[in-house]
Chains A and B, each alone.
Chain A
Amino acid sequence: MDFQVVVLAGGTSKNLTPLVSKEVPKPLLPVANRPLLYYVLHQLEQSNLKDLIVVVEGEDAALLVGSWISGTFVDRLHVEIAAVPEDIGTAGAIRAISHHLTTKDILVVSGDLVSDVPPGAVAATHRRHDAVVTAMLCSVPVSGPSESGSSGGKDKAKKPGRYDIIGLDPGKQFLLHIATGAEIEKDTRLQKHILHAVGQMEIRSDLMDAYMYAFKRSVLQEVLDQKDTFQSLKHDVLPYLVQSQLKSEALLNGIPQAEENGNEKFSSQNNQVLVSQILFNSSIPSFHKISSVDPDGSASIRTHKCCAYIASSSSYCMRLNSIQAFMDINRDVTGEADYLLSNTSSDHNNVIGPSPKLGTKTTVGPHCMLGEGSEMGDKCQVKRSVIGRHCRIGSHVKVVNSVVMNHVTIGDGCIIQGSVICSNVQLQERVVLKDCQVGAGFVVTAGSEYKGESMARKEK
């Protein structure tokens, strides 16, 4: 279908500091015992997109990700890994791989997207409107531990209103304004001429930019070439394209064909004009066309279209860009959105891997996941938690609303609530953790109590 897919997998994200490390870059962060990247790749595979470019920040991370992909998706996907230096931003990443992009349109997907929205829908919308950029918007997910009631200080710190302000046309097809949460301080500026052209704009703050974009390749490359300062697709490129959509002469000069005047060559120039005019006249005009036609009737101003695909509210869509989101996604993937894990046949709402050893009177509640080879002692309780592979959990341990990764040793009598415990952590006896993050390889001494803290091993 003439689309190339670029997955921006990221590297060691700072937002997730205790969880990700050099050994476990963000793409490989286990979510419900699967690396985060799996969700994106799996979904692309489902949509029959088998040629992918995965961009990873950092050489080491790229090696790790590459080996994981080749191990998991061998014979199923054709993946090329590109390693880019860290901190060059998403726009920089695209710039770096720009010479590999050849097709007419490009689908850019963030590697931290966990969603069941079909990418084909975004691409189809893009094609149908012949847009320059199409962004997928999804409704803002319900964040926070909604049912548990344990709202720690860390979650409260998350400011409300960090979401994007998005302006749409009445038909909800075109993107008229976009301002991402971080940039909005008190007020946001709207483009008057766009408002004038459209007549009516719907401003919404309940939508989130899901970081799945379809770009017209030529335009994207040109923007990236011309604007060296652009760092991020979301913060720089997209707003730029949206703002300049009605006066894009400068932008599209290098492109031989205007979008709506097809790319057909006719023997007679006159006939071509007529053909395009017939097509032009008999398609439903968007405001672009109306505003691009001068009062004297000649189409003089070049415009381009920025479209939006709004995912239906029933679909699941979430980005893993904070620790809270990590918790939420873990909860959802094991719980209500368990269809994202394709091969689970969970009849009774919890997934227990092969050969777990459970002690007597140990209960594993619904919405739980237990990796293979994990052992649990007597009288343990596990509720709404994910426990990784080869964990050893002692007796009288309570794990609620938590994520425990692989190879974790938990001593007797520990109580863990709302926490993330990374791989190879050792919790000694009677540790009480509430809303904590414990970095990989950390050792929590016996009898200690922590609340709302984040612990990590000192870097040597």
Chain B
Amino acid sequence: MDVVNQLQRQFIDYSASLHREGFLDDQFTQLQKLQDDNSPDFVVEVASLFFEDCEKLINNMARALEQQQGVDFKQVDASVHQLKGSSSSIGAMRVKDVCIAFRSFCEAQNREGCLRCLQQVTHEYSLLKNKLQTLFRLQQQILAAGGSIPVVE
């Protein structure tokens, strides 16, 4: 049982740190609440979907912004919008904040700004992905050890 407790404590601390550092916000907690016996892997599924979405969108944006002649800001904006929606649905706060800034650059049709934001988004996304993967690994470890996932308020 010590192992489980230890793991659980680790999990809690890690969760808390993620929240504190702004990687995740309340929405993520809500998602965790939705996880129950009917859908035990709900959060993981949502997260995977998110990662797929993110990569696709980032690639889209990169391609659009690489165009030397006539960047289609509308398209970029659409992608950013999608990304913003997704990130807010999952509770990825930092990604969402970057998206907000990204959108204003799109409206201003500022290519440099957009590129910078894109870089930032990519960076944040990678960070988040790593963190979440660590979190999920911890979860699996707890479950494997026979414990239950503690609910983080």
A joins B in a complex: no
Residue numbers of A with Cβ under 8 A of B are none
Residue numbers of B with Cβ under 8 A of A are none
